[in-house]
A and B are shown apart, each in its own frame.
Chain A
Amino acid sequence: MTKQLIFTIITSFLMAGSAANAASCKYEVDEIDLFTKQHLVTTEWYSMTSSISTLMKKRFELDDQSKIHVAAARDGDQTSVAIKIEVSDDTGIPPSNEDLRDALYVAQGSPLTITLADDSIIELHASKSVRGTTHPSSSGFMKSNIVVLYPLEASEVDALLNQNVSNVSMAATSGRYAYVDDKGRINFEMNRKGRDRFIEALTCLNKA
C-alpha cells in the first residue's frame, strides 16, 4: 500500500469521524419549559474517562475507579456545565447511615477548577448544594456518585470552546472516605480521550 493511499484512508476516516460527531449530537433535554417559557437544553453525557484504563484498574484491583463525565446545559440565557463523577473507596469497615450520608457532598459555591491546555485556569462555582448517592458495592468497595451544575459566563464558554482541558479538580467533602485529597479536592487528569469533551458538549449545546 502506498503512502498516498494510507494518507487518503486515514484522512477519509478522520473526516468521516468529524462529520459523524458533528451530526450526532444527542440531548437529554431539548424543550420549552411550560411555566418559564425558557428553552431548556441538556446534552448527553460525555465520558472523560477511558473505559480501557478503568477496566485495567479493575482487573488489577486498583482502588482508583474514578469516572468523570461532562454535559452542557442551557436554561434560557444561562449556560452551565454539569459534572458527574463516580468515586470509590474501601475502608474495610461496614458503613453507618451517617457514613453513607456524608460520603460525598458539594456545598453551594464550591469551586471546580479547570486547567486548560495552555495552563490557564477557569474556576467555576456550584449552583447549589448537592449530596451524593452512596452504596456499598458487592465487591466491598464504597461507591459514590454525584452530579453538580456549574454556571458559566460567556467568556468562560469561549475559553472552553477554544482549548482542550488537561485537568479538572472538584472541591468536595467526603466524610471518612478518601475520595478527596488533603486540600479537599477530587482531581482528574484528562487522558487523550477526555481532553476535548468540554468542546464537544458545548459545541452540541450551541447547535440545539
Chain B
Amino acid sequence: MILTGTTANAAKCKFQDGSYNALTKVRTVQTKWEKLISGLGKSPEGPHEVQAAAVSAKLEGSNSYLAIRISLEDYSRREPPPYQLEDAIAIPESSQLLILMDDGAILRLPAKDEHSFDATFVPPGTASSTRFRKTDMNDYVKTTEAFISYVLDENTAAALRAQDATNMRVEAGDTYYDIDLQKKSRGDVAAAIECLQSAHAEDGATK
C-alpha cells in the first residue's frame, strides 16, 4: 500500500473509469494511459524495438501495480500464417520490468502474473494498414499489443517518484523489448504513481 507523498499536482490527474467488485469488495482505480513512445508506422530498427508504449498506475484494493502497454508492428508481403500470430508476446511469471533511472540506477519490478498475447493482422491496402504506414501499401501489417502489470511496492514507488525514468526493458522469456522514453515522457511514470497515491489518499479521506 502506498500512502505517502501526494502533492498539488493531483489536480492534473486523469483516471480511467474505476470499478468496485461487490463480491471481493475490491475497488480498482487506474490512471489514464500516458504515451512513453509513439512510432507506429515505422519499421522496427531491431528485434527488441517496440514502436509504441504507454504507462499507467493501478490500485486494486490495497495492491499497487505499474502497468505497461507495448505495441509491436511487423510488415510482410505474405499473409502471416496462424502459428505466427499465437503467443506473439509471452511474459513468464518470473519476468521483470527493468527501469533505468536518470542517475543510472536500475529498478526491477516483478510481473504480477504470466501473460500471453496473440497478434492480429490486416491485409494490404485496407484502411487499418494504410493508417499506420503510407509508404508501402502492399504489406500485411501484423500488430501485437501487450498489457502487463508489475507489482509496485512502497520503496520502488518512492524511487520512481524521486527522478525521471529514461529507458525500460520488458523481459519476455528468452527475449526482451526495450523502450527508449521520449524526453517529454520521462516524468510520466512518477506522475502516474503520484496520481495513484492522491486517489488513494482521497479515498481514505472520504471514508
> A35 to B82, Cβ gap below 8 A?
no
Query: A128–B81 Cα gap in the complex (Å)?
Result: 23
Chain B residues with CB under 8 Å of A98's CB are: 83
> B83 to A97, Cβ gap below 8 A?
yes
Chain A residue nearest to B173 in the complex (CB): A128
Residues of chain B from 72 to 126 with CB closer than 8 A to chain A in the complex: 78, 81-84, 98, 100, 106
In this complex, the interface size class of chain A, counting residues with CB under 8 Å from chain B, is 10 to 19
> A133 to B84, Cβ gap below 8 A?
yes
Residues of chain B from 52 to 89 with CB closer than 8 A to chain A in the complex: 78, 81-84
Chain B residues with CB under 8 Å of A145's CB are: none
> A35 to B81, Cβ gap below 8 A?
no
Q: State whether the Cβ of A34 lies closer than 8 Å to any Cβ in chain B.
A: yes
Residues of B within 8 A of A (CB): 46, 78, 81-84, 98, 100, 106, 167, 169, 174, 178
> B100 to A135, Cβ gap below 8 A?
no
Question: B83, B84, B100: which has the most chain A beta carbons within 10 Å?
Answer: B83
Chain A residues with CB under 8 Å of B178's CB are: 34
Residues of chain A from 93 to 114 with CB closer than 8 A to chain B in the complex: 97-98, 100-101
Give 8 closest A-B pairs by Cβ, nearest first.
A101-B83, A100-B81, A97-B82, A135-B78, A128-B174, A35-B169, A35-B98, A97-B83
Chain B residues with CB under 8 Å of A88's CB are: none
Chain A residues with CB under 8 Å of B100's CB are: 34-35
Query: A34–B169 Cα gap in the complex (Å)?
Result: 10
Q: Known contacts A35-B98, A35-B169; decide if A135 and B174 are in contact (CB<8 Å).
A: no
Query: A133–B78 Cα gap in the complex (Å)?
Result: 12
Q: How far is the CB of B16 from chain A (nearest CB, A)?
A: 30
Chain B residues with CB under 8 Å of A134's CB are: 81
> B81 to A135, Cβ gap below 8 A?
yes
Q: Write 20 A-B pairs (CB below 8 A) sorted by A numbering.
A: A29-B46, A34-B100, A34-B167, A34-B178, A35-B100, A35-B106, A35-B167, A35-B169, A97-B81, A97-B82, A98-B83, A100-B81, A100-B83, A101-B81, A101-B83, A128-B174, A133-B84, A134-B81, A135-B78, A135-B81
Q: How far is the CB of B82 from chain A (nearest CB, A)?
A: 5
Q: How far is the CB of A192 from chain B (nearest CB, A)?
A: 33
Chain B residue nearest to A98 in the complex (CB): B83
Chain A residue nearest to B168 in the complex (CB): A35
Chain B residues with CB under 8 Å of A97's CB are: 81-83
Q: How far is the CB of B122 from chain A (nearest CB, A)?
A: 18
Q: How far is the CB of A47 from chain B (nearest CB, A)?
A: 21
Q: How far is the CB of A32 from chain B (nearest CB, A)?
A: 12
Chain A residue nearest to B180 in the complex (CB): A34
Residues of chain A from 101 to 150 with CB closer than 8 A to chain B in the complex: 101, 128, 133-135
Chain A residue nearest to B98 in the complex (CB): A35
Chain A residues with CB under 8 Å of B169's CB are: 34-35
Question: A35, A97, A128: which has the most chain B beta carbons within 10 Å?
Answer: A35
Chain A residue nearest to B174 in the complex (CB): A128
Binary B-proximity of A15-53 (CB < 8 A = 1, otherwise 0): 000000000000001000011000000000000000000
Query: A97–B82 Cα gap in the complex (Å)?
Result: 6
Known: A128-B174, A135-B78. 16 other contacts (CB 8 A): A29-B46, A34-B100, A34-B167, A34-B178, A35-B98, A35-B100, A35-B106, A35-B167, A97-B81, A97-B82, A98-B83, A101-B81, A101-B83, A133-B84, A134-B81, A135-B81
